[in-house]
A = this chain, B = another copy of it.
Amino acid sequence: MLRIGMLTSGGDCQALNAAMRGVVKGICSKRKDVEIYGFKDGYKGLIYANFEMLTSKDFSGILTRGGTILGTSRQPFKLMRVPDENGLDKVAAMKHTYHKLSLDCLVILGGNGTHKTANMLREEGLNIITLPKTIDNDLWGTDMTFGFQSAVDIATDTIDRIHTTATSHSRVFIIEVMGHKVGHVTLHAGIAGGADIILLPEIPYDINVIADVIHKRTEAGKPFTILAVAEGAISKEDAKLKKKEYKEKLEKRKYPSIAYELAEQIQKKTDKEVRITVPGHTQRGGSPCPYDRVFSTRVGAAAAQLILDEDYGYMIAMRNGETVKVPLQDVAGKLKYVDPKCSLIKEAKLTGISFGDEL
């Protein structure tokens, strides 16, 4: 008997179900003696042994369904190795569940935080296989994560719609794209949507540069400007602050988010009407795009193969179009940022996109 535990952790995204379907279809095409334990709401389900027994039938027809049939939660991994306020040692609890159910392997789908915990469980001797899930595409060790392209599609669709209305008025439109620490989604959606200005956490902006770009466009007979900004975009001044100082500054900010702050500053400096769009969690919602479905099916199947081979301790990554296994210890705790000097940024700048950093 092969006993597989499975959980999804962190912010949800498209293709979580597709990836799990790939794992289960892959295993069940080779083995009939399989038990699948679906833990509910992320690591919580493992800690409190809250699970459902699932069969391959439960994974049928979910290729196109958004969200996760297992539920998810953001479990603060920091607390894991110290007992919490109720005296619960969470790592011990998870190990206990794993062993009590005699699991052969635990399949974990998640992003950065999730991988730290997954690696910790691996260090504790559990058999772990992980899949790279996040709309942010900020996981180290893989060219791509599932959810990313779907999020880009949605953010681009938002910019597209704004474009038609923008051309009918003489305004600045700000679209706030998800991404607190990294700007991959904003960068790709911004280029795909034909944004004039793209602001990323990795490239601090100068509000005067932004105002200048808008002025120059107006002078050149282009009365509107489309600005795509990542949630975590930061000005050059704020980038000089210490992390703690900046955090305090943010907490005192009167605006709910960066888009509203930029709007006020741009309105002051350019005398243009500014309009804001915050697609928010739509970027995590809906059916995965075909790219993500193929991608997640592939990494799911590759995970299944590893499990059939009893070869544990890896994240399945995509590199140069091929699925590969990457040791968990190499992945955990590392973020993949947008490199301000990468060829994509250079190409974007060459086509006239401003990143707010220079004229």
Interface residues of A (CB under 8 A from B): 8, 12, 14, 21-22, 25-26, 29-30, 61, 63-68, 71-73, 143, 149, 152-154, 156, 158, 160-169, 173, 188-189, 191-194, 254-256, 260, 275-287, 289-291, 293-294, 297-298, 300-302, 304-305, 320-323, 343-344, 346-348, 350-352
A12 to B, closest residue via Cβ: B168
A285 and B160 contact, CB distance less than 8 A? yes
Q: How far is the CB of A44 from chain B (nearest CB, A)?
A: 11
Name the residue of chain B whose CB is nearest to the CB of A187. Answer: B294
Chain B residues positioned under 8 Å from A163 (CB to CB):
64, 285
A277/B276 contact (C-beta < 8 A), A290-B153, A293-B191 known: no
Closest chain-B Cβ to A325's Cβ sits at a distance in Å of 12
Closest to A322 in B: B343
Contacts known (A277-B281, A278-B277); A290 close to B165, Cβ less than 8 A: no
Note all chain B residues with C-beta closer than 8 A to A283. 161
Contact assessment for B29 and A165 in the assembled complex, using a CB-CB cutoff below 8 Å:
no
Contact pick for A305, options B21, B165, B320, B350, CB 8 Å: B350
The 6 closest A-B pairs by CB, nearest first: A66-B164, A161-B285, A192-B290, A301-B347, A277-B280, A12-B168
CB distance from A354 to the nearest CB of B (A): 11
How many copies of the polypeptide does the oligomer hold? 4
In the complex, the chain B residue whose C-beta lies closest to that of A188 is: B294
Q: List 13 additional contacts besides A158-B279, A256-B256, A304-B350; criterion CB under 8 Å.
A: A8-B168, A26-B347, A160-B287, A161-B283, A161-B284, A165-B281, A165-B284, A191-B293, A193-B290, A278-B278, A301-B348, A301-B350, A320-B320
Also in contact, A281 and B162, with CB within 8 A (given A29-B350, A350-B26): yes
**Interchain CA distance A323-B342 in the complex, whole Å:** 11
Contact in complex: A285, B72 (CB < 8 Å): no
Known interface pairs A12-B165, A67-B165, A352-B29; A191-B285 also in contact (CB < 8 Å)? no
Within the assembled complex, what's the spacing in Å between the Cα atoms of A156 and B154? Answer: 14
Q: A277 to B286: give the CA distance in the assembly, Å.
A: 14
* Partner pick for A281 among B26, B173, B304, B350, CB 8 A cutoff: B173
What residues on B are CB-neighbors of A166 within 8 Å? 281
Closest residue of chain B to A164 (Cβ to Cβ) is: B66
Given A156-B293, A161-B286, A64-B256 contact (CB < 8 Å):
no
Closest-by-CB residue of B relative to A144 is B321
Q: Tell me if B281 and A280 are in contact (CB < 8 A).
A: no
Q: Closest CB-CB distance, A200 to chain B, in whole Å?
A: 15
Q: Which of B68, B143, B192, B280 contacts A294 (CB 8 A)?
A: B192
Q: Is the CB of B323 within 8 A of A29?
A: no
